[in-house]
Amino acid sequence: MKKQSLYVAAIITAAAVTFPGIGRAATNEVYRVSMSFHGLYQGTNELTQAKEIQYAEFNAKDIVNLALGHPFNSAVSSNQFLAYVSTGGSTNSLIVYDKSADSNLVTVADVTSRGSVSQGDTEDFVWKIGFLDLGATNVIVGGVTNSVGSSTNKFTGGSLQVPGTKFAKDGKFEVISSSVNGVVNADSDGDGFHVLVPEGNLTFGTPAVGKIITP
């Protein structure tokens, strides 16, 4: 009985296959994401202290900084970037990927399909990107425990609609959206912002930049 248990465990670890009632794991490819959007929020004039509409702009580096709990203008390691990973189910993810350790530092948002239509090598789709309410957590990278997130710089929710097109041919693909819109909630240096996003863009595609194991 002991040998049989060890044998099953070895198969799960090495092949990442599913055994009902035991658990599952899968190795999924990771794709680097280019993403940017701008928005409007209710701010305060520094001179008059009057309420006014102010402008915010986000790119992939800004998203990584907030997800990791850093201020907007912080330097980002070249090994850490915004990435898309398919979990093999109906919900996929935007993550901060650490290429040096093939690790997901933090899941930024869930990506779910709202529907799609296909013709030949082209698929038109609508996705929802749902930002997670992030706080301070610990992750293990290369055997070292790292603190991720903070109480003053983080995403606190919101979602974006992403209508776009996927072009696929000869085992390669590219995803393009130039109509990202919705609402993003975030804390920056301790101040909370409710940002209305009228437009933005997102692109990614082959080749994959790495792989991670997802439960």
Position 60: which residue type? A
Q: Distance between CA atoms of 193 and 196, rounded to whole angstroms?
A: 10
Q: Which residues contact 134 (CB under 8 A, 6 or more apart)?
A: 66, 67, 69, 106, 108, 149, 154, 155, 156
Asked if 156 contacts 119 with a C-beta cutoff of 8 angstroms, the reply is: no
**Confidence check: pLDDT of 79 > 90:** yes
Provide the whole-model pTM: 0.81
pLDDT at 2: 45
Phi-psi region of 23 (alpha: psi -120 to 50; beta: other; left: phi over 0): left
Q: Strand, helix or coil at 90? A: coil
Its sign, for the CA torsion 174, 177, 183, 184, is positive
Its sign, for the CA torsion 8, 13, 17, 18, is positive
Give the start-to-end residue ranges of the domains of the chain.
26-214
Comparison of pLDDT for 212 and 148, the residue scoring more: 212
**Confidence check: pLDDT of 150 > 60:** yes
Give the residue carrying structure tokens 């409007």.
40
- Report the share of the chain in percent with pLDDT over 70: 80
First vs last Cα of the chain: how many Å apart?
A: 26
pLDDT in tens, 193-210: 999 999 999 999 999 999
pLDDT at 22: 39
Confidence of residue 137 (pLDDT cuts 50, 70, 90): low
